[in-house]
Structure 1
């Protein structure tokens, strides 16, 4: 018999005494019998609620008893079982405002044994705020169908009842295509040296060109202000945490940028900030480099100050033309990366002011550099020190778990001691989609390799409950 069947068959009390070692099955799951009983109670409650039936108080009490029982059992089990925190990434839809609908989703999450939810609150240029209480420039996910429908607040309340920590999950540099198409926001788009935005880059990934992605200039003050307004509105609702995703530049079909003109540093605000780092002569050198992609030949006396790198007080001085090539590349890369670091600090400020823990979501290889070649994402995650948690996306598939170990190990090697690391895994329970190991196998390997980790999450609920997600996404409120 496969281990997963054993875990599904036994109850909470049996699981609780098994100790901290993980099993290839999934400890902390609710038994099938209790899942069915709770679901029956939920359906009875939802019907009574939709009909305002006289039996509503009784149905609610019966359902609440199951919720409380499983919340207590989940907390006890996760205290005893590795990992202590097990998260899932979730997107909700307008139809989840129907009586009992959101409850069903969160019940399923508890049934799996998860105790943390990353709720997508800002994605594809839409916000999970009510139409009538939306101070941002982005439209509401729910819209006018339910202008007072607050899925974020409702998720926080229902999650807390079930023992779930609910973290708000937002996209950062990717604000959606409609934002950068607005007449009053067109200069906020990230641009390369060919004046291409992420919507027009001929070397952009197909999923970027064909999806709801629109990348912005992290140096632009209007972008920072708009996202601060968004984060402040989220923080007012007191989520258990804020997970910031897309803290990077757009990826491309080429794995490396080898020509500075392909770098996303030509937006108006970014270019101006870059020029401010230079001396007068350095500005001329930089201008020619950015315009042609070639190191210029200018009569520059040795020792002439040219510019300052971010965070450095001493200027970079001219030595010779060979060294100048490296110096120019160092400046361009450092400037691009510093924009991301400052951007993260700026937009997360309203959450920090409310003492809401912040997670930075990133790709462990997004900061790669080899000489004058650099990863197009230019994601300086080792410098994300202004957050409480790192969430490295350990997604690389190499027909085993070696890539996963390499990505998590690379992250842990650079993590400060006071910062928690919570890797994000991709896959399915009991299945091997493509060549990717099952989640059981991945979890067990993570435990064997990094037993001191106490937090792991899974991307994404829609992969675990595909039929449910499709039905909820396509229905009309």
Structure 2
């Protein structure tokens, strides 16, 4: 998921010691079983006891435990257990499907990242069984986040594969996840970063030329967004934005989407369809040099919006100097005396503007230029998404856009949220607003969803993404139950919701999956 919520929940000091003790225990356990995290299955299901309510479509604890026992026995070659496991899996598929038909919440999805050790026999089965136990009928699998969840042997994209261990060259973890998920009644979506291509993309001169650039000559590695800082373990986060007008970037991304489409997921979700959000005052774009429009192709596209030579001259002065002056207007008149006023796409001159004193028309023209460059920046984002989503929809696969509900807002008289995420113009089949407000109540979350609904076309399915955990508040947000209940009471037209994230619900299990090493 977008931005800082990729991080796991904070671990308390007591929790840290529990991690260290259990790590030693698990290392020994892994030597005798191929089930990653088997030691934590009981912990996860015990936590489920209080949640096994029919209205959440969750599998009773006893049945969930029995299913896991049969899975392990079947994995060790017991054919009788395999037949019984298949039977109980089918039973749970039917239970969740029938329950969801009766519930107001028709679709409950969860976000997950897969790791190399999930290629081990039985690993995907265990992960998806856990999701079904909690009543989920959809899963959003991280497919591109600076690395691609594609087989290394046949990876024809500009990015390295997630799987690099010996013996996994031909392993198609995305295709396997789609198959295993569907066998358990889950619709499987591919969740992909969009304008965030990751630092590895910039290792070639071609990649460098495609990067987003602001008016201070900076790439997004220096943008100041929290997501760009180093993670707690010292590793660099995979964040680097490209110029949405770059033909190289669009072509490379198109190839990636084509590879994902070939796996026939039930949908593709496009995340990071925006520019970075700076810290403090830099979270607001208030001048042209704040905008990520200084890449060669972005600038060329902007300059092409000029309708006469005066317009081209003034736009160039504005980009180069960060503003225009009265002297710039006078110089334009000297250079192009046969043209009346500087013109560019969307500009309507003031009445009698040609006869106005330079000092009077200067402020109006500077404002027009600011609106032009803002529109150009946000339109690049919209166009990039539309180009990426078109082949998805042509193949009758659902396309979804993931966004922040507040990231398309003006701030003050001339400021704008620096993400410039004009989601109200996104044309995907589904909108997935990240309703992550933190007011310790559900109403501020509901208000975010309500705002999105006010913009949504009738043909667009709005599926809020909620951050949190079952049965307890999390970092300023109430429990998932309370959040969902608040949305249902206030906005009954919502019938699909997703939860971020699997790692939050089962942090210890996720920790050992992510830290496990293939031999």
TM-score normalised over the length of structure 1: 0.90
User: What is the correspondence of 1:197-236 to structure 2 with a 5 Å cutoff?
Assistant: 197-201=219-223, 204-210=224-230, 211-236=237-262
Tell me the SS of whatever aligns to 2:188.
strand
Aligned to 1:130: 151
Mark the CA change 1:156 to 1:290 in structure 2 (over 3 Å): closer, same or farther. same
Which residue, out of 61, 64, 70, partners 1:35?
64
**Structure 2 Cα separation of the partners of residues 112 and 42 of structure 1:** 17
Query: Does the 8 Å contact 2:51/2:471 carry over to 1?
Result: no
Which sections of structure 1, spanning at least 5 residues, go unmatched? 16-25, 49-54, 310-314
CA deviations over 1:12-44 (Å, ceiling 9, x no partner): xxx3xxxxxxxxxx6200000001100001111
Which residue, out of 268, 274, 292, partners 1:242?
268
TM-score normalised over the length of structure 2: 0.83
CA deviations over 1:388-408 (Å, ceiling 9, x no partner): 110000012122223212210
Aligned to 1:290: 319
Which residue, out of 423, 435, 438, partners 1:381?
423
Tell me the SS of whatever aligns to 1:127.
coil
Which sections of structure 2, spanning at least 5 residues, go unmatched? 1-47, 231-236, 334-338, 354-360
Aligned to 2:142: 120
Instruction: Quote how far apart the aligned CAs of 1:59 are.
Output: 3.2
Which residue, out of 383, 397, 401, partners 1:356?
397
Aligned to 1:110: 132
**Structure 1 residue 267 and structure 2 residue 295: aligned?**
yes
**Structure 1 Cα separation of the partners of residues 118 and 49 of structure 2:** 31
Mark the CA change 1:295 to 1:401 in structure 2 (over 3 Å): closer, same or farther. farther
Instruction: Quote how far apart the aligned CAs of 1:305 are.
Output: 4.5
Query: Does the 8 Å contact 1:366/1:377 carry over to 2?
Result: yes
**Structure 1 Cα separation of the partners of residues 208 and 475 of structure 2:** 40
Instruction: Quote how far apart the aligned CAs of 1:427 are.
Output: 0.6
Tell me the SS of whatever aligns to 1:126.
coil
Aligned to 1:22: none
Tell me the SS of whatever aligns to 1:348.
helix
Instruction: Quote how far apart the aligned CAs of 1:144 are.
Output: 4.1
Aligned to 1:397: 438
Which residue, out of 432, 441, 466, partners 2:482?
441
Tell me the SS of whatever aligns to 2:56.
coil
**Structure 2 Cα separation of the partners of residues 206 and 7 of structure 1:** 34
Instruction: Quote how far apart the aligned CAs of 1:183 are.
Output: 2.6
Query: Does the 8 Å contact 1:95/1:472 carry over to 2?
Result: yes
Q: Greater helix percent: which structure?
A: 2
Aligned to 1:97: 119
More displaced 10-residue stretch of structure 1: 275-284 or 344-353: 344-353
CA deviations over 1:326-372 (Å, ceiling 9, x no partner): 20111001000110111011122331221111001000111111432
**Structure 1 residue 306 and structure 2 residue 340: aligned?**
no
Query: Does the 8 Å contact 2:437/2:477 carry over to 1?
Result: no
Query: Does the 8 Å contact 1:225/1:347 carry over to 2?
Result: no
**Structure 1 residue 182 and structure 2 residue 210: aligned?**
no
User: Aligned residue pairs: how many?
Assistant: 444
Aligned to 2:182: 160
Instruction: Quote how far apart the aligned CAs of 1:182 are.
Output: 2.2
Query: Does the 8 Å contact 2:206/2:248 carry over to 1?
Result: no
CA deviations over 1:274-315 (Å, ceiling 9, x no partner): 011113211211122122222322136796251004xxxxx5
Instruction: Quote how far apart the aligned CAs of 1:382 are.
Output: 0.5
Tell me the SS of whatever aligns to 1:342.
helix
Query: Does the 8 Å contact 2:49/2:61 carry over to 1?
Result: no
